[in-house]
Amino acid sequence: MIYYIRNMKTITLKQIAEELNISVTTVSKALKGYSDVSKKTKKQVKELAKKLNYIPNASAVNLRTQQTKTIGVIVPTTVHHFFATVIKGIIKTAKKRDYMVILLQSEEDAEQEIKSVDLLISKGVDGIMISLSNKTQNFDHLEKIKNHDIPLVLFDKISKITDCSKVVINDQKAAYDAVEYLIKKGYKRIAHFRGDLNPQVSIDRFLGYKKALLNNNIEFDSSLVYICNNNDDFNDGHASAKKLIDMHGKNVDALFAITDMVAIGALKYFNDHGIKIPKDIAIIGFSNWFMSSVITPTLTTIDQPGYKMGKTAFKLLYKEIKTKNVDISYETIEMKTSLIVREST
Amino acid sequence: MIYYIRNMKTITLKQIAEELNISVTTVSKALKGYSDVSKKTKKQVKELAKKLNYIPNASAVNLRTQQTKTIGVIVPTTVHHFFATVIKGIIKTAKKRDYMVILLQSEEDAEQEIKSVDLLISKGVDGIMISLSNKTQNFDHLEKIKNHDIPLVLFDKISKITDCSKVVINDQKAAYDAVEYLIKKGYKRIAHFRGDLNPQVSIDRFLGYKKALLNNNIEFDSSLVYICNNNDDFNDGHASAKKLIDMHGKNVDALFAITDMVAIGALKYFNDHGIKIPKDIAIIGFSNWFMSSVITPTLTTIDQPGYKMGKTAFKLLYKEIKTKNVDISYETIEMKTSLIVREST
DNA sequence: GATTTTACCGAAAACGTTTTCGAAAGCTTT
DNA sequence: AAAGCTTTCGAAAACGTTTTCGGTAAAATC
């Protein structure tokens, strides 16, 4: 039976000190195990602190120690299987090191991303992790973070020109592998539903697609590439699928989509219009969202290890926080992806 | 062309004051628009602050004002469509009020939930929002929050016996409606895949199911109820589907599952074993995850407005924060759910 | 018994801000 | 010219903690 004192107002060192007729200094030192406090006093202090349910005032500690034990994370959105997984990894790993996570979302809007960065800086977070929005083209806010000497780690959606630690996958290679797999399977007219023009992942996956075609002597046909940039992957995929069929009819036999969601949008269109998967058209997605394993037909895709990326990203950030003021050498860690073959190919 | 001063160390009021040969007080007041500062001084200060990229030290402000402009949110997991949506709603609404969100996850573990609460209290957050873990049976940690005079709002997974503000749906009614819909459609042998025994939502949905049967003169058959409590909804649903068919064969014609994920697990089993949906068996899920609209067949389900719940929950919390020390009357807000009819019924 | 060492404690400064209160200087009113 | 206002500013205290530094008394050493 735990017993709580009703209405325990916030207890401070001062109150403990007064109760015990000693100084605030001694109380603080006793609690932190300093060696110049007698065992007896330590015991008294600790007992009273426990009894009164003393909890240090974090703001005061932060102000004094100049660190907050808090990191900031900015993602485009939380409602996204991959990001949710990364976030889970970050929070869990951070907790182990006694760090807490302030989460912000840019909603794929550059302005919001910039504002969020300012908020985090003013909050005095010990480090910042960002996955860039699709609309981010200027990286001054990242430089700002660096100029404030705040450790920064970019993950997944990164900026190539910013000099900092990064956690990524090799988008180009992953895309290459996916498309080459299609080619080896005998598909020749392979469409690509790509993302917006700016984001690095969008560029890299497109380049991988193109390279795989060229290296296998298949002519690149730009009319087979469709851009999905309405920030609504499912409907983008669905609409692009319609356009693809309207334009090319039977003269297309496979599709490489930039995300699983785009792929599923297309898949849905095909399913609803009597186009058989993979007989009439094969599909490969990207990310291995849970959904892709339960959809009909199940979706071939590329596994992107979100949880591990989150974990790794925090570890990188943590290392930078710890080695602050020392000359830092930035790392870029590349996570392994793998092709998951399912029914859609 | 924006120009940043390299290595801008943190700027403080003091530095601005010295530069301008005025006092820290005046600088502070100028920045905050106090009326007892001349227009001229205000202008000078504001310009220099902007030029130097002054950002107030949050810890100092917090310490002085005794509030952190930060709230804590604890959810079982971030990788969950419904929770992700709620979180999005919370973060977005909080941002509008200049609040930031510290996110923690209990991972369906009572111990972690308790520890997280302690962390948040010590962090000095201005308020806490929790969706309880399935394993939480003791609510002392919630009382502790209240005893610290920290506003608390529970959402979705709540504790009935804790006196505080809550945002919920009427699980019992929603379940009742779903099952009654099945009955009206002519289904008579309706199975239920329920959740763990303790969580309130699990209890309420089960009670709604039972009540709908009784009110419609259908005998309740406990052998048609299966418990999914392995924290892996998809596989729980899949395994329970097998058990259901093994035991009842054709002598069951509908299923009400506690979540969409459980429903989809079952759906997958039926699909893979030649059991036609909805001809042989109809399925209703719960929550209206995105996935349920793209699965084959699409899933009838109950829409649970996550984003709105998050938004509402924050607003409730905000109100409590603002009216602190005044006698509070706790509110329980019930959000509207609706039945989404799709192919599976 | 004098000196050094050890053990223990606390005053004070510092972190960066906000806000109260008083004071000085200029202005207006008689 | 005296009295009262207005405008403008800054000193100082406060928020709660950490840590340096010095001091005192007791214990140990010679």
Domain CATH number, residue B36: 1.10.260.40
Contacts of A103 in chain B (CB under 8 A): 87, 91, 101-103
**pLDDT for res A6:** 37
Q: Is A63 within 8 Å of B68 when comparing Cβ atoms?
A: no
B174 in Cβ contact with B201 (< 8 Å): no
Residue B149 pLDDT level (bands cut at 50, 70, 90): confident
Residues A310 and A163 in one domain: yes
Q: Is residue B232 part of a domain?
A: yes
What the block records as the tokens of A154 is 């970019």
Check whether residue A313 and residue A287 sit in a common domain: no
The stretch B151-176 carries a mean pLDDT of 96
On whether both A144 and A75 belong to a single domain, the answer is yes
Do A278 and A249 lie in one domain? The reply is yes
Task: Please check whether residues A181 and A298 belong to one and the same domain.
Answer: yes
Query: Is residue A73 within 8 Å of A313, Cβ to Cβ?
Result: no
C-alpha B160/C-alpha A161 separation (Å) is 53
What pLDDT does residue B2 have? 34
**pLDDT recorded at residue B248:** 96
What's A233's domain CATH number? 3.40.50.2300
Identify whether B6 is part of a domain: no
Closest-CA residue of A relative to B85 is A79
B240 shares its domain with B187: yes
Assess whether A195 and A86 both reside in one domain: no
Least confident of A170-174, A293-297, A309-313, B320-324: B320-324
Residue A61 lies in a domain: no
* Mean pLDDT of all residues belonging to chain B: 93
Mean pLDDT of B265-291: 95
Position A62 in a domain: no
Average pLDDT over residues B200-218: 97
Of the candidates B80, B162, B70, the one whose C-alpha atom is nearest the C-alpha of residue B125 is B70
What CA–CA distance (Å, rounded) separates B245 from A159? Answer: 53
Q: How many domains does chain A have?
A: 3
Whole-model pTM: value is 0.91
Give the residue from chain B lying closest to A82, CA to CA.
B79
Residues 6+ apart with CB under 8 A from B176: B208, B209, B211, B212
Lowest mean pLDDT among A209-218, B28-37, B224-233, B319-328: B319-328
Q: Does A65 touch chain B (CB under 8 A)?
A: no
User: Which of the four pLDDT bands, split at 50, 70 and 90, describes residue A1?
Assistant: very low
Same domain, B227 and B323: no
Q: Let me know if residue A270 belongs to a domain.
A: yes
d(CA A24, CA A17) in angstroms, rounded, equals: 5
CB contact under 8 A, A57 and B124: yes
Q: Which nucleotides of C are covered by protein (CB under 7 A)?
A: 7-12, 14-22
Q: Which two tokens stand for residue A193?
A: 């539903």
For residues A247 and A182, state if they share a domain: yes
Range of the domain at A220: 171-303
Task: Please indicate, yes or no, whether residues B77 and B162 belong to a single structural domain of this protein.
Answer: yes
Residue A343 lies in a domain: no
Residue B321 in domain:
yes
* A31 touches A49 (CB < 8 A): yes
Q: What is the mean pLDDT of residues A42-71?
A: 93
**pLDDT, tens digit, for every residue of A271-286?**
999 999 999 999 999 9
Band (pLDDT 50/70/90 cuts) for residue B9 is: low
Residues B281 and B229 in one domain: yes
The alpha carbon torsion through B61, B63, B68, B73 (nearest 10 deg) reads: 150
Cβ neighbourhood burial of B235 (10 Å; 0-12, 13-18, 19+): middle
Residues A144 and A179 both lie in one domain: no
> Is A141 part of the contact surface with chain B (CB cutoff 8 Å)?
no
Q: Which of residues 215-254 of A touch B (CB under 8 A)?
A: 234
Task: Evaluate whether residue B5 is within a structural domain.
Answer: no
